[in-house]
């Protein structure tokens, strides 16, 4: 599968996505009356240059253990997803798509990456986190996935740090929020933001290899990163024609100079002696 090609979705995920779209349509009518246009326009993903997830932020996981976010990342690339654990619209399909793309990436969870899902609603607890994880994330991805919870101030701090803007609708007890997937470097820096509804295994693999800065992936993966560029407008990796041409030109020039060098070093044939005639 080449970067930019749509992900071939299992029937279960397709059905869930269609159901969520229908639910979103119904919710959208109610949300329009509850949230102002200005509030809805504020919903966006706008990471600033150098944006970084705060490593000292303490969050609890679905087992109740409280640890710093930096310890959760544990020195490897990570994906960060914000979700409402009891969401009736797009959170479930977004998470299922992310898990499916990770499985297709052929990277090994727990060694090459971690998936961190942070709850937006402070009312949700461990039971809601476990229910969503069981419904949307299967093994082997689930073994590298941690659902995290914190109070509103801590979640807001994390969201503000990475440039994630969401709005709570109290009338419907729902959150208007982007379906974005943050790619974090081992030190917590935001290296990419991918569309949660347009993921495929190849793009996710390239993003994690890039975030790993040489720590994960094969030599072929790093060569592909040279030949592919990230398109922020579409959130996918596309073939960088200019880089291909530069690479081809460089190889051609090197081959020409190499050929000239070989020819110059080749010993000249000795001239045949003229036989003097009588």
For residues 201 and 222, what is the distance between their CA atoms, to the nearest angstrom? Answer: 16
Q: Please report the DSSP string for 97-155 in residue order.
A: HHHHHHHHTTPPBTTTBEEEEEES-TT--HHHHHHHHHHH--TTGGGGEEEEE--HHHH
Q: Which two tokens stand for residue 275?
A: 């036989």
pLDDT reported for residue 243: 47
Q: For 25, list phi and psi in degrees, rounded to 5.
A: -60, -40
For 11-199, CATH number out of 3.30.70.1380, 3.40.50.970, 3.90.550.10, 3.40.30.10 equals 3.40.30.10
pLDDT reported for residue 69: 97
Exposure string for 200-209, b = 16+ CB within 10 A, e = fewer? bbbbbbbbbb
Cβ atoms < 10 Å from Cβ of 68: 13
Residue 80 vs residues 118, 131, 151, 184: alpha-carbon distances, Å: 7, 19, 17, 7
Stated pTM of the model: 0.70
For residues 35 and 62, what is the distance between their CA atoms, to the nearest angstrom? Answer: 31
What's the CA dihedral at 93, 95, 99, 101 to 10 degrees?
Answer: 70
Segment 140-194, tens digit of pLDDT: 999 999 999 999 999 999 999 999 999 999 988 889 998 889 999 999 999 988 8
Q: For 251, list phi and psi in degrees, rounded to 5.
A: -65, -40
Q: What is the pLDDT along the chain (278 residues), one digit of tens a residue?
A: 333 333 333 444 444 444 444 444 434 444 444 788 888 888 888 888 899 999 999 999 999 999 999 999 988 999 999 999 999 888 999 999 999 999 999 899 999 999 999 999 999 999 999 999 999 999 999 999 999 999 999 999 999 999 999 999 998 888 999 888 999 999 999 998 888 887 888 888 888 988 876 444 344 433 333 444 444 544 454 544 444 444 445 556 566 666 666 666 656 555 544 444 44
Q: Where are the domains of the chain?
A: 11-199, 218-261
pLDDT reported for residue 201: 86
pLDDT reported for residue 19: 42
Contact 84/91 with Cβ under 8 angstroms? yes
Q: Which two tokens stand for residue 214?
A: 């040489």
Placement of tokens 């069981």 in the chain: 134
């Amino acid at each position: 599968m080449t970067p930019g090609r749509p992900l071939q979705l299992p029937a279960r995920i397709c059905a869930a996505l269609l159901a969520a779209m229908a639910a979103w349509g119904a919710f959208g009518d109610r949300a329009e009356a509850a949230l102002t246009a200005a509030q809805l326009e504020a919903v966006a993903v706008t990471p600033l240059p150098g944006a970084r997830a705060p490593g000292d932020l303490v969050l609890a996981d679905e087992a109740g253990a409280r640890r710093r976010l930096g310890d959760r990342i544990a020195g490897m690339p990570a994906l960060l997803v914000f979700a409402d654990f009891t969401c009736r619209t797009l959170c479930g399909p977004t998470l299922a798509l992310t898990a499916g793309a990770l499985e297709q990436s052929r990277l090994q969870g727990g060694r090459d990456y971690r998936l961190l899902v942070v709850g937006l609603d402070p009312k949700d607890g461990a039971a809601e986190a476990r229910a969503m994880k069981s419904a949307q994330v299967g093994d082997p991805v689930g073994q590298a996935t941690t659902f995290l919870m914190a109070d509103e101030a801590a979640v807001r701090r994390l969201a503000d740090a990475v440039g994630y803007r969401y709005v709570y609708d109290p009338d419907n007890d729902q959150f208007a929020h982007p379906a974005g997937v943050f790619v974090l470097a081992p030190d917590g820096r935001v290296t990419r933001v991918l569309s949660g509804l347009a993921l495929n295994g190849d793009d996710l693999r390239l993003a994690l290899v890039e975030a790993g800065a040489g720590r994960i992936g094969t030599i072929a993966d790093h060569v592909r990163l040279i030949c592919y560029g990230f398109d922020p407008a579409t959130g996918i990796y596309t073939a960088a024609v200019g880089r291909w041409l530069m690479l081809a030109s460089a190889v051609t020039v090197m081959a020409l100079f190499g050929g000239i060098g070989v020819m110059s070093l080749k010993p000249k044939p000795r001239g045949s002696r003229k036989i003097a005639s009588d």
